[in-house]
Amino acid sequence: MKTIITFIIVFGVLVIVHEFGHFFFAKRSGILVREFAIGMGPKLIAHQAKDGTTYTLRLLPIGGYVRMAGMGEEEAELPPGLPLSVELNADGAVTKINTSKKIQLTNSIPMELVRHDLEDELTITGFVNGDESEAITYPVLHDATIIEADGTEIRIAPTDVQFQSAKLWQRMLTNFAGPMNNFILAILLFVLLAFMRGGTPITDTNQLGSVIADGVAEKAGLQTADKVVSIDGKRIATWEDLAMTVSENPEKDLDFVVNRNGQTLEMTVTPRAEKSGNQTVGKLDISVPMKTGLTDKIFGGVTEAVDSSLRIFKALGSLFTGFSLNKLGGPVMMFQMSSQAADAGLTTVIALMAMLSMNLGIINLIPIPALDGGKLVLNVLEGVRGKPLSQEKEGILTFIGFGLLMVLMVLVTWNDIQRFFF
């Protein structure tokens, strides 16, 4: 249960923060956000705000999404012959269109749909009260709402509030805002980690941090702030050199040369053995030295975020030199990582969320249709050509990109299942 809750929180926060970026800049650009959903699947609660956005809470507590006007896959299907009802104002204009069998409007007029135009002409035509001798056309208000089959009430999407009606730079910013939010979240979380840990690790030094009482290092005579000059004759220049050498030699006597306040000391230290996954590693019961100033913590968190992004780019680069599904991970791997993080404690959970947030932001900027990066490429292409691709061509590219992503996701998920459960 702890793992499940951790997975839901981590995955949910990452996706909601991502979608909020799209939501915020779409609103600022004058694009109608028809729905902002927390969770997926069947609707539990819905509230339509005065700004025209319907906020919904859905059954499956994983992620969320934003429905922007003019994004074709988000439009409700209204085929001819569809039974529906309309609600009129005092001037005879439609204020509400009900296509749901779950909702009954008290003062509505039943209609069999003949045709409609809710984007430009703003009209709806149909046979009223079962009378098929004459089709009646009603004007539709610009801010009218439509009740979908599941009972969700959203605004209609006239052309002037659709995504394509915004300026090119506004659409580019809206597309980039999701990954941008993930980068901001990652940086904030890495800074938070620096404060929770009490500082930022100093890794370009051979100096010891705190020596744990009654640990291996203290019993061998090592003290806080000692500088390890060499181990078994091997020069030690950085913390990584020290950690690697100790890790590779569990329960082996190591000859340390140490500098303490200008004095050279020699001592024998035997790292204790500790299980780490499928390996046994050596430990000295010491901590990395830390910079503990306020600015050190802030800049240290930012630096760690940058280092995390560089590791992700390096991993992506390795896919081109030697592709392997084992280099990728899907929801199953994320669940496994959430399980390990939940067992390790809050700090590890936050570190996982920070790393995954950076990962999600970068992956979404890969120039593949259906991802934000692919949309940005189409925006750039539009700027070069002076006109956008036709919706048909853009839809085909998006469909192909989405299909490739789904195939890859299935392969990665199956590979993860085999790795972790068989």
- Domain CATH for 246: 2.30.42.10
Same domain, 323 and 387: yes
Same domain, 152 and 233: no
Work out the number of other CB atoms within 10 angstroms of the CB of residue 233: 7
Q: Which of 228, 261, 288 is the last residue of a domain?
A: 288
Contact (CB, 8 A) for 364 and 391: no
**What pLDDT does residue 159 have?**
92
The tally of domains found in the chain comes to 3
- 328 within domain boundaries: yes
Average pLDDT, integer, range 355-377? 90
- 236 within domain boundaries: yes
**What pLDDT does residue 1 have?**
74
Q: Which of 109, 129, 161 is the last residue of a domain?
A: 161
Q: Is the pLDDT of residue 259 over 80?
A: yes
265: pLDDT confidence band, cut at 50, 70 and 90?
Answer: very high
75: pLDDT confidence band, cut at 50, 70 and 90?
Answer: low
**What pLDDT does residue 177 have?**
96
**What pLDDT does residue 184 have?**
96
- 223 within domain boundaries: yes
Question: How many Å apart are CA 372 and CA 389, to the nearest integer?
Answer: 16
Q: Is 19 a catalytic residue?
A: yes
Question: How many Å apart are CA 398 and CA 371, to the nearest integer?
Answer: 8
Same domain, 276 and 311: no
Average pLDDT, integer, range 203-215? 90
Same domain, 276 and 303: no
Question: Pick from 22, 71, 307, 45: which is nearest to 151 by CA?
Answer: 45
Same domain, 301 and 414: yes
Q: Which of 19, 35, 304, 394 is catalytic?
A: 19
**What pLDDT does residue 325 have?**
67
Q: Which domain holds residue 248?
A: 203-288
Q: What's the pLDDT tens digit per position in 217-253? A: 999 999 999 999 999 999 999 999 999 999 999 999 9
One-letter identity of residue 187: I
Strand residue runs (E) in 75-168:
83-88, 94-98, 108-117, 123-128, 135-147, 153-155
Average pLDDT, integer, range 157-171? 93
Same domain, 141 and 207: no
419: pLDDT confidence band, cut at 50, 70 and 90?
Answer: low
Q: What is the chain's mean pLDDT, rounded? A: 88
308: pLDDT confidence band, cut at 50, 70 and 90?
Answer: confident
- 30 within domain boundaries: no
- 264 within domain boundaries: yes
**What pLDDT does residue 218 have?**
92
Share of the chain above pLDDT 70, in %: 95
